[in-house]
Structures are given as structure tokens and as C-alpha cells.
Structure 1
């Protein structure tokens, strides 16, 4: 298995982070599909939120659909992990498999609890990420809760400060009776998003679908949900992976402190709630890897040249997310208008 040089590794991690961010938005969404509205006992909104985070995900397999109306720029000659449907498997003990159908093949992610494999069948490229132990996975600032109770408390605090939380009736999703949980930003939140709707299984509190809406739209801007789901034990071999013969294989090391191979320095969040902004600085290694004519050509095709108190840079906009990359190597990303990104960069300094 051949190693990846540090500068390429940094670029790969940066791209992987972007893909994970997009996946994160996807997991916050699902098509607002038709289905009977079953009669279910009344439930308080915050009690529903807490029950979701207290529950343990059971072993399952299911089919999912993805509806992406973000308005992401299409770049000729560049492949992306985008899909409209796929299969997901979970053993109830932390091992999982995701298979997404792409136009030219399949993209597979397999986790056995100690390492994560990803494989692009069209490119015949596999990557392996060895997971660090639990202590290394913890955020240095305690941002990653270590138990469901803590997660529930933080979400309730977030919802109380930044959102109106409600239960808007019921629905049938993938043949399952579900509550419709709705998170709506309070009027003071400067966000592009109008609301997030999450269909929660009435029996086991598993989120079955989520739909994210922006202002002025009747349909979700991005969505992900189950169309079919079966609960029960899964075959152990689903959670192991061996690269096909002839595949290019690369090892990606987990982010570690003081390694000098991170794509970003000083990554932090400015603000709270829906209009929070992630601000970071691209490392010197990554900047030298990306600072060429091809990068500027790409940015000019997907973004707009802008200037402000932060200096000059490129603004990249989708229907739900905005990103600002300055010429001096700073980046700000959030589900917010350009002005909020500019203010976040000013508050962070240079």
C-alpha cells in the first residue's frame, strides 16, 4: 500500500472535508414526500428531540434517495461524489456501509469501527483512514459530546436560543409512522435557511427523512431520506472491505495536532446558531499546492471576484451555503449571506 505525500494528503483531506460538509447537509434533509398521516399520541417538541438523541440506532438496512437542489456549480472534467440513490447498512454496534449510485459507477464507504474505507468504482481509487482511539477523537475544546445525554442537552440549548421547535403533524415514511419535527430559525438569525423538517420514527425515534428549506422556496433545497427500511441483524461481511485488484490505494492519516499536514490552521466558529460561520486559514503547504493558474481559473468559474474590509477574494454561492476565500488564504463558510461572512472575517482578524 503506497503512502501519500504530505502535500497531496493535505489537499485530499481538504477535499474530503468539503465532501463531508456536503454530506452533512444531506443528512439534514429529505424529500417532503407523500404518505398518509397516521394518528399518533401527542408529543412535546423538546421531548421528541431528547428522545431522538437518547435512542440507540438499531441494526438496519435501507434504500435512500437524495434530492440536491443546492445549485452547485458543474465543472467540466471534474468528478464529484453526487448521487440520487443508494443503500445503507448498520449493525447496531458502530459498523456501517454506504453504497451510493453514481452516473459512472458506485461510491462505497465502509467502516468496521477501527478504519474507514472509501472506494470510487469509476476511478478505481480506494482510500483508507485508520481511526484514532476515543481520546484522540475528542475535540480539544470539548465540542464533540461523548454521550447522548450531553448531545441532547446541547441541542436543546441550541434550539431554545436560536430556533422555534415544533411538531407539525405526522407522516408515513418508508412504511413507518413518523412525527414531523420542525426547527425554525428565530427572526434574529441571519441565515439563508427557512426551516429544517425531520421525520422521526414514532417507535424507535430514528430520523427517517429530513428536508431543508430556504426562503422563498416551496420544495426542499436539499433532501435525504429512506424510501425503504428493514430492521434486523446484518451479515458481518458487509462491514469489511478489500480493494479490488489493480485499484489505486492511498492511506489518509487522521488529523493530529502539530503534524503540519492539516489543510487549515486556526479553524474556529464565529457566532452561534443558524448564522454561525466557520473561519479558518489555509496552511502554507496547501496554499502552495493550490496557488496556481488552474486554481484561479476554477475559482473564477464557480465564484465571483469580491472585495471588502477583508481585502480581496472569491465568493462562491449556492442556494443554502456561501463561502468566501480571500487572497491572503482565509476562508469563511456558512448558511448565511455574504455580509455575515465578511463580518466574521473582520471579527477574526488577520
Structure 2
């Protein structure tokens, strides 16, 4: 089996075991501080205003807290240790994002026609030239609570009961508390999603995901600083540091990162909608010798024992789909079969079994 395919298996196993952690520090009003008094607003009106809100010129600092319940020692969990992120918008479609992780920083700068990506860890930069009129903001908004919350609202709005639960103060700004609760027919491990919406800009300032049986958020991302004001123009241009290795690409030549390459290989599909959506897929046939997962694959520090990894972090399971292993966290469940199929979602184990068993 080719090394590339072996590496794909290792990545897929890690993805399935950790996917529930990958699919999702605020400043609320203090104990002695009264929530802000704001004009009444309907839940539907608040949702619509969020959907149509445009980011003004602003700068902000974002913090992430997570208690996903991932198994201790699970490979790849360290990659979730995002220390902080800083975002800037010029109000005209230009953005800058700086993600600090460990001793390095990943910077993305979009000026409308060009996207720069720079990794200080290995001093490499990629310049991506976009076709005229084409905007690619998703990467630059990856660490932005406003973008994350807006996308989530679009995905679960129709399968949710929506309400406004008072007000809060986040990043020293007055906000409405928008709450989305799964409808009774939804089968999910999540209890509710809470979005603090800025009263003035209607941008989400904080996103909380709460699970059944817990009082603390399993995942929380929020602005700790949010300042609406004009930003210096030089923030939205980028000059590679001295000695940096620079790669120039047109959008047609742009190759996805490792996560994107993995997604292309696995060709995932979704089963269901809303809160109980399940992501399913199958490893490529040439990555499965004899139609089964191999015993081991090469890793950065030598061979990785796939069977031992699954045995350590997952539970054996069987059903109409065959046999495999399942791992459950606070926010979701993932299942990998012995013949290379997988399913994952913020749902109980039985929902994954049904998704894999469906014809």
C-alpha cells in the first residue's frame, strides 16, 4: 500500500475519533451587575437581523473555552488548543485574522483580490490571487464568533425553537441572548445553543453550546474585546518577512490544506438535517488492504497501531452495518467500521448505526 494511502488511514482514524471535538472567555454581566436594559425584540426579528448584519470596521480579540469530553491522550487533541485569535475588518470586505497557537502564529490577510496565508512556525507564506469579483472570506473568518454563529444559525434554524432569554454584557457591550433549542423530534446530545447578539451591530459576540445533563458550556467562543472604529489600512496588506518561502498561486491552482485533501479523499455525505445531521463516508478502496483497516500505518514517530488506538479510545460495536468502534464525547459520537466506513454527528450512537445501516 502506498505511503500516501497509509497516511490517509491514520488521518481518518484521528478525524473520526476527534471529529466531535472539531465540529464546535466571555465577559458576561458580573454577579453584582444588572443586565443591560434594551428595547424588546422578537426572536424571529433578532434572527433576521443577524442574518442580514454587515460587519463594520472593527477590531476584536477572541477566546475559546472547551470542555468537549475528548479522551485524554487522544492524538490530535493538542491541535484544538487555540490560545487566542485577533480579528480586524475594514467594513469594506477586507479582513485580517491572527491565530496564536503554541509558540507560533498563523496569519490570514484578505484585501479583496489577494489572500495571504503566513505561518510563523516555518516562515512560509502563500499568496493566492482571486479572480475579479470573487471573494473568499471563509478562511479569514474562521476564528470569528460572528461568522461561526451566523453559519450555525443557518444550519439549525428550521429544526429549532427560538427564543430571546433576556440580555447580557459581552466584551463590555450590551447584547440580546438568543437561544436555540432542538425541537422534540430532533435526536441530539445537545441541549441548546446560546448566541449573544450585539444590540448595535447585530453581530454575534458569543456562542455557547450546552449539552444534556450539564450546566457548563461544552464549547464557548466569544469576543473579549470588540471595538467598532476605523482600522489602519496597512493591516489589510501583507509583506512576507525576510527569508520567508513564498508560493504564488492562482485560485485555479490552489490546493486545499490537509483537512481539505482528506475531505476530498473521503467524499463525505450527510444523512438527515438540523441537529441530528450525520456525516458519513468511506475510506478509498486502495487504502484498505483486503477490504479492512490495516493493523498499523506509518506516523511521525514510527508506526501507529490502528487497532490498538481504536481499542484504547473507542468501544467495540456491532449491528446491521457490521462491526466497528465508537467513541462518545459530551457533544457528539463517531463510529468507524472495520471495513472503513464512518459516521459522526452530535447524536447518540443509535442514530449513527441507523445512518450506516440505511440502504
Same structural fold, with TM-score higher than 0.5 when normalized by the shorter chain: yes
Mapping for residues 197-346 of structure 1, pairs under 5 Å: 197-241=194-238, 244=241, 253-254=255-256, 262-265=264-267, 267-284=268-285, 291=294, 292-293=296-297, 294=304, 296=306, 297-346=308-357
Q: In 2, are the aligned partners of 1:81 and 1:107 still within 8 Å (CA)?
A: no
Q: In 1, Cα distance between the equivalents of 2:285 and 2:196?
A: 44
Taking a change above 3 Å as real, the CA distance of residues 155 and 261 of structure 1, as seen in their structure-2 partners, is closer
Taking a change above 3 Å as real, the CA distance of residues 97 and 165 of structure 1, as seen in their structure-2 partners, is same
* TM-align CA RMSD: 4.0
> Unaligned stretches of 5+ in structure 1?
138-151
> How far does residue 201 in structure 1 lie from its aligned partner after superposition?
0.6
Q: In 2, are the aligned partners of 1:117 and 1:126 still within 8 Å (CA)?
A: no
> How far does residue 72 in structure 1 lie from its aligned partner after superposition?
2.5
- The aligned length equals 318
Query: Per-residue CA shift, 1:195-241, capped at 9, x if unaligned?
Result: 00000011110000011100111110000001111112323443444
Which of 130, 155, 178 lines up with 2:175 in the alignment?
178
SS at match of 1:233: coil
Query: Per-residue CA shift, 1:11-69, capped at 9, x if unaligned?
Result: 899799999985661xxxx6583344111111110110011011111121111111010
Taking a change above 3 Å as real, the CA distance of residues 85 and 217 of structure 1, as seen in their structure-2 partners, is same
> How far does residue 332 in structure 1 lie from its aligned partner after superposition?
1.1
Residue 86 of structure 2 aligns with which residue? 87
Taking a change above 3 Å as real, the CA distance of residues 64 and 54 of structure 1, as seen in their structure-2 partners, is same
Residue 55 of structure 2 aligns with which residue? 57
TM-score (norm 1): 0.75
Mapping for residues 134-213 of structure 1, pairs under 5 Å: 158-160=156-158, 162-213=159-210
Q: In 1, Cα distance between the equivalents of 2:321 and 2:353?
A: 7
Residue 70 of structure 1 aligns with which residue? 68
Mapping for residues 14-25 of structure 1, pairs under 5 Å: 25=24
Q: In 2, are the aligned partners of 1:262 and 1:283 still within 8 Å (CA)?
A: no
SS at match of 1:340: helix
SS at match of 1:204: coil
* Range with greater deviation from structure 2 (272-281 or 42-51): 272-281
TM-score (norm 2): 0.73
Query: Per-residue CA shift, 1:87-140, capped at 9, x if unaligned?
Result: 12222333333223333333434444456555554x426474848768999xxx
> How far does residue 306 in structure 1 lie from its aligned partner after superposition?
2.3
Query: Per-residue CA shift, 1:148-187, capped at 9, x if unaligned?
Result: xxxx9x9679534x21100000111111111000000112
Q: In 2, Cα distance between the equivalents of 1:300 and 1:131?
A: 45
